[in-house]
Amino acid sequence: MKHDAENVTLFMESRMNFLNVLNGIFGMLVIVLLAFLMSNNKKRINWKLVLSGLAIQFTFAVFILRGDDLGKLFGPLLWPKLFFNWLANFLCHYSSIHN
């Protein structure tokens, strides 16, 4: 029974819990809806392109937010997070030099 309580506690303390995921999905849907409503030619919207872009965004989010956990399962899954951390540090350093 103690094992179940620990799992619930870990789930509640998770950085990416169910409500946060729903909030993110809702936000993406609102942005797509606003773009659709402001479109001049709604019939020419390429929905396959829109959905593939959202899938890529979701994939990047999983790799960035869960990179450490994925890296524990399989080392190369940590590489995208390490790359984006390196890129962010490089850009911060580069922008501070040229200010």
Residue pLDDT, tens place only, 22-79: 888 899 999 999 999 999 999 999 999 999 999 998 888 887 777 777 778 887 878 8
Q: Is the pTM of this model over 0.75?
A: no
Residues 50 and 91 in one domain: yes
Residues 11 and 55 in one domain: no
Residues 39 and 51 in one domain: no
Give the pLDDT band of residue 6 (cuts 50, 70, 90). Answer: low
Give the pLDDT band of residue 9 (cuts 50, 70, 90). Answer: low
Per the structure, the count of domains in the chain is 2
pLDDT recorded at residue 11: 52
Residues 35 and 52 in one domain: no
pLDDT recorded at residue 77: 79
Contact of 61 with 81, CB cutoff 8 Å: no
The pLDDT of 13-29, averaged and rounded, is 77
Contact of 96 with 88, CB cutoff 8 Å: no
Which residue range is the domain that position 77 belongs to?
46-99
Residue with tokens 């303390």: 13
| Amino acid code (one letter) for 72 | K
Give the pLDDT band of residue 15 (cuts 50, 70, 90). Answer: low
Q: Would you tell me the crossing angle of helices 47-65 and 79-97 to the nearest 10 degrees? A: 90
